[in-house]
Amino acid sequence: MTTITLVGAGSAEFTAELVTDFLAVDALPEGEFRLVDIDPVRLELARGFAEHLIERTGKGWTVRADIDRTAALGGSDVVINTIEVAGLRNVRHDYDIPMRYGVDQCIGDTIGPGGLFKAFRTIPAWLEMLGDIDRLCPEALVLNHTNPMSMMVLAASRASRIPVYGMCHSVHYTIEQIAEYLEVDLARLTFRAAGVNHLAWITDLWLDGDDAYPMLRERGRLAEVWEQDPVRFELMFHLGRFPTESSGHVSEYLPYFRSRPETLARYARSGYRGESGFYANNWPTWRAESDERLARVFAGDEEYPLERGGEYPSRIVEAMTTGAPVSVYVNIPNDGLIDDLAPGGVVEVEAIVDGDGIHPQPFGALPPQLAALDRRHLEVYDLAVTAVLEGDRELAVQALMLDPLTSAVCPPADIRMMFDEMVAAERADLPSFLTP
């Protein structure tokens, strides 16, 4: 019987998605979901919904819920981290304060001021969790879904002996979107991708075995196609390859698209295509809408779909159980995987999973212009994680000074003032080394 522990299960709809995925695996007819969250109300919502899904499928799974993760971790086969540390009460600070300095973020949870401060809030709790895993279930497979992905995995690699695999659906969903832009069946496309999380690249793309990039460039020049993904098509036109994250998110990773109002107006569109403050303005509403949806399902007014989604955990566990190999993308330290990125930095590459485990595939070298962009991010992540592990406030400030978007907009003195203002606003949720 497989025991799967989800820490941060109060993200009820995402928990429902992961539970649905595991219940869809024929090779896993029974097991136990252990749900952990510090919010008892949201934990109960997640528990009730998981039981609802199990009842609908008729599978032999059970559910238990714990506020204390140490009560749940012992004997776990798989631990999936989805924690969110004080995000809802700080999402406005993460957006509003940088915006006053001219730093315009769309999502702001993996890079930029918002991403760095999320890292400062989250990494200490994450390392405490890894310490518990090391004591209570050291052989468990640990999968991280929490952002900022690269910094979470990097901190784990430096401060814990537990191997951690970072899970992100951006490569998978990008290929689905490219199939739509090309108006072809997804099964006809094959590809290679690599880089860093949210700034990885589709380096090779084939349609029925032939190079599909000429066709994608032709399609991207059509106004109605370009409008669906303006930043990504511009990057492909000028840097040669299509990136693996939405136009809104990838625009935050670079100095090109959000540093001037006229440029933002030229390239940003609604929602994930670049809307200013998209997460900050919508997160509370999304959470309420998610709760309302689950309530309708409980009441019998809406049916929750039981189709398997695109997330990787269930596919990884299925492949390890059955031995039938599957390809996924993982975020892990660079141990000979990408030749022209720093050893030890966290990279995103393909991995083949089978009955013997997870096998990251060496990629080789990225095109030099893409590697150059990715190296900048590895340096920011290195400084930020080192700041947390060593309790060095000055390194944390300097990590923000190296952030590509922030440094394109602000001089160092203003970045330091911004940093101090964010610390003052988020003091209650930050580690003590940032709040002298």
Each residue's pLDDT tens digit, 285-309 = 888 888 888 888 877 888 888 999 9
SS3 of the chain: the string is CEEEEEECCCCHHHHHHHHHHHHCCCCCCEEEEEEECCCHHHHHHHHHHHHHHHHHHCCEEEEEEECCCHHHHCCCCEEEECCCCCHHHHHHHHHHHHHHCCCCCCCCCCCHHHHHHHHHHHHHHHHHHHHHHHHHCCCCEEEECCCCHHHHHHHHHHHCCCCEEEECCHHHHHHHHHHHHHCCCHHHEEEEEEEECCEEEEEEEEECCEECHHHHHHHHCCHHHHCCCHHHHHHHHHHCCEECCCHHHHHHCCCCCCCCHHHHHHHCCCHHHCCCCHHHHHHHHHHHHHHHHHHHHHCCCCCCCCCCCCCCHHHHHHHHHHCCCEEEEEEEECCCCECCCCCCCEEEEEEEEECCEEEECCCECCCHHHHHHHHHHHHHHHHHHHHHHHCCHHHHHHHHHHCHHHHHHCCHHHHHHHHHHHHHHHHHHCCHHHCC
Active site annotation includes 93: no
pLDDT at 97: 98
Is 89-111+170-276+324-436 a domain of CATH 3.90.1820.10? yes
pLDDT digit string (tens) for 371-399? 999 999 999 999 999 999 999 999 999 99
Using CA atoms, how far residue 52 sits from 59, 279, 309, 358, in Å, is: 11, 30, 18, 32
Helix axes 149-159, 112-136, angle to 10 degrees: 40
Residue of 52, 93, 145, 169 with catalytic role:
169
Helix axes 12-23, 313-322, angle to 10 degrees: 20
User: 198-234 burial, b if ≥16 CB within 10 A, otherwise e?
Assistant: bbbbbbebebeeeebbebbeebbeeeebbebbbbbbb
pLDDT at 432: 97
Boundaries of every domain in the chain? 89-111+170-276+324-436
**Which stretches in the chain have pLDDT values below 70?**
none
pLDDT at 299: 79
Model confidence pTM above 0.75: yes
